[in-house]
A and B are shown apart, each in its own frame.
Chain A
């Protein structure tokens, strides 16, 4: 235990020594990781806000279930409850016959003559069903429709398949592009970081040789470099988050005005805590991996 403790302390001390010993290289590594992760973060911010935007549109995806005319108030209440618990349902709203008529009147203002001569309301009551965001796909819709068709009391279902498919396609396109760009950025970061750290390893090849001569094993030589890379990477991640937040606050006022003009709503939000954490962890992982790559290449030459 003391041996392990002594070793861990040695690794940490040597890593900090390395950071202090070559401040310029360390700063370059931190800034490099920070700037590349800033790009990744900006992209995540953009995609998550676009998703939110699409989500808002997605709330308009409705399934209308027209009820049979002779359904009692109690039967309607039971039906609403059963629909509510069907798969992929977010929200159910009952539109009564009177409400339907009211809407029709409002929608066809100026054509009041259409309603003249009707002595009773021909419009049925219906349920307006909003889909949960994960079910806004043609499969999700099909599952829901199948479930609804199994329930009694529903006369007819109305839904727009095209809308749903378009929405799902847009969503998966954004995610695919997001993943693609994310992977490319991560690879680029890894290369840049490993190059930067390779410089640090190269600058210390004499030190590595001496360590080997006094009997240092592979881990004794390489772990301090890995720890150093991990620290630089984490700092780079923190730097990226700080920059991203700074830019976000700076650009927000202009952005908000533009979006509101364009869409009538939308308030951009900053990435969540899990993304902040992921950026820092990604920085740490990239730094460690970059060091590892640099060491492997270093030991080959």
Chain B
């Protein structure tokens, strides 16, 4: 159950991500985000939608501390992101899985090594890394490609690889920026099911998309951004499909 609004007695409350009147400006006088307040609870699945340049990517970058807010507070996993020190940022990121729009895969490492990276930064023993990586690659249907390099994969395969890397360490928060942008209809549903199942395991999932059909189909809570402001926060028709 999610609580809306800010409870002053419990800042951050049960929410894993809480943005409180957050604004972000890259250039003086122009705002990428303007006075955004939103919360994301454990196991919650939220679509983030809106036209290109509305601030979806900026919002995600703020959550995993790739950017600092110009105004307002962001509490992620109980930490104030605006005040994280140099060692606090990596520690936070290790608890967040991110699927980047441009995948950000390491071209010189194999599929297997790319996924293993997310576990290796945690210092996971090799044997565990192997079995977890294999299980994860199986879930995204890439186990037969595990010794290939990312550049020899199709766009859809690279996308699934990026998702596998984001999910393999069972993050508390998953941020996915247009994760189905390069996929055909059938694969899109497979990937979406994967993301939804992560939410049912307790991960808070933020999916940025402008695929209205997808949003309609899953009927999840949808936050709509326009010109950096939240113009709609629709709780969605259904809880889980």
Could you count the A-B residue pairs with CB atoms below 8 Å apart for me: how many are there?
61
Q: Does A111 contact B (CB under 8 A)?
A: no
Q: Does B98 contact A (CB under 8 A)?
A: yes
- On whether A214 and B165 interact (CB within 8 A), knowing A3-B123, A3-B125, the answer reads yes
Q: How far is the CA of A10 from the CA of B64 in the complex (A)?
A: 25
The answer on a CB contact under 8 Å between B86 and A218 is: yes
The answer on a CB contact under 8 Å between A6 and B87 is: no
- Interface positions of B from 103 to 134, Cβ below 8 Å from A: 104-106, 108-109, 117-118, 120-121, 123-126, 129
Contacts of B118 in A (CB 8 A): 214-215
The answer on a CB contact under 8 Å between B90 and A212 is: yes
- Interface positions of A from 4 to 45, Cβ below 8 Å from B: 4-7, 9-10, 17, 21
Cβ contact of A17, chosen from B92, B105, B109, B124, cutoff 8 A = B109
Q: Does A213 contact B (CB under 8 A)?
A: yes
Q: How far is the CA of A6 from the CA of B105 in the complex (A)?
A: 22
Cβ contact of A216, chosen from B64, B66, B90, cutoff 8 A = B90
Contacts of A212 in B (CB 8 A): 90, 93
Q: How far is the CA of A111 from the CA of B63 in the complex (A)?
A: 106
Q: How far is the CA of A214 from the CA of B121 in the complex (A)?
A: 8
Most buried by A among B90, B94, B117, B124: B90
The answer on a CB contact under 8 Å between B93 and A7 is: no
Interface size on A, residues (CB 8 A): 22
Q: Does A256 contact B (CB under 8 A)?
A: no
Closest residue to B105 on the A side, CB-wise? A210
Interface membership of chain B positions 220-232, coded 1 if the CB is closer than 8 angstroms to chain A and 0 otherwise: 0000000000000
Q: Does A217 contact B (CB under 8 A)?
A: yes
Q: How far is the CA of A217 from the CA of B121 in the complex (A)?
A: 8
The answer on a CB contact under 8 Å between A6 and B120 is: yes
The answer on a CB contact under 8 Å between A2 and B121 is: no
Question: How distant is B161 from chain A, measured CB to nearest CB, in Å?
Answer: 13
Cβ contact of B90, chosen from A4, A21, A215, cutoff 8 A = A215
Question: What are 30 A-B contacts with C-beta separation under 8 Å?
Answer: A2-B125, A3-B123, A3-B124, A4-B123, A6-B123, A6-B124, A7-B123, A21-B108, A207-B106, A209-B104, A210-B104, A210-B106, A211-B117, A213-B64, A213-B93, A214-B117, A214-B121, A214-B165, A215-B90, A215-B93, A215-B94, A215-B95, A215-B96, A216-B121, A217-B87, A217-B90, A217-B121, A218-B90, A220-B90, A220-B121
Chain A binding surface SS class = helix
Q: How far is the CA of A9 from the CA of B124 in the complex (A)?
A: 11
Most buried by A among B66, B123, B165: B123
The answer on a CB contact under 8 Å between B104 and A213 is: yes
The answer on a CB contact under 8 Å between B90 and A6 is: no
Closest residue to B86 on the A side, CB-wise? A218
Q: How far is the CA of A179 from the CA of B154 in the complex (A)?
A: 59
- On whether A6 and B93 interact (CB within 8 A), knowing A207-B108, A211-B117, A214-B118, the answer reads no
Contacts of A215 in B (CB 8 A): 90-96, 118, 121
Closest residue to B124 on the A side, CB-wise? A6
Interface membership of chain A positions 192-219, coded 1 if the CB is closer than 8 angstroms to chain B and 0 otherwise: 0000000000000001011111111110
A214-B117, A216-B121 known; 19 other A-B pairs, CB under 8 Å?
A3-B123, A5-B125, A10-B120, A17-B108, A21-B108, A207-B106, A207-B108, A209-B104, A210-B105, A211-B121, A212-B93, A213-B104, A214-B94, A214-B118, A215-B94, A216-B90, A218-B86, A218-B87, A218-B90
Closest residue to B94 on the A side, CB-wise? A215
Contacts of B94 in A (CB 8 A): 214-215
Q: How far is the CA of A2 from the CA of B124 in the complex (A)?
A: 8
Q: How far is the CA of A213 from the CA of B99 in the complex (A)?
A: 11
Q: Which 7 A-B pairs have the closest CB atoms?
A: A215-B93, A215-B94, A3-B123, A217-B90, A2-B125, A216-B121, A215-B90
Q: How far is the CA of A289 from the CA of B125 in the complex (A)?
A: 29
Contacts of A207 in B (CB 8 A): 106, 108
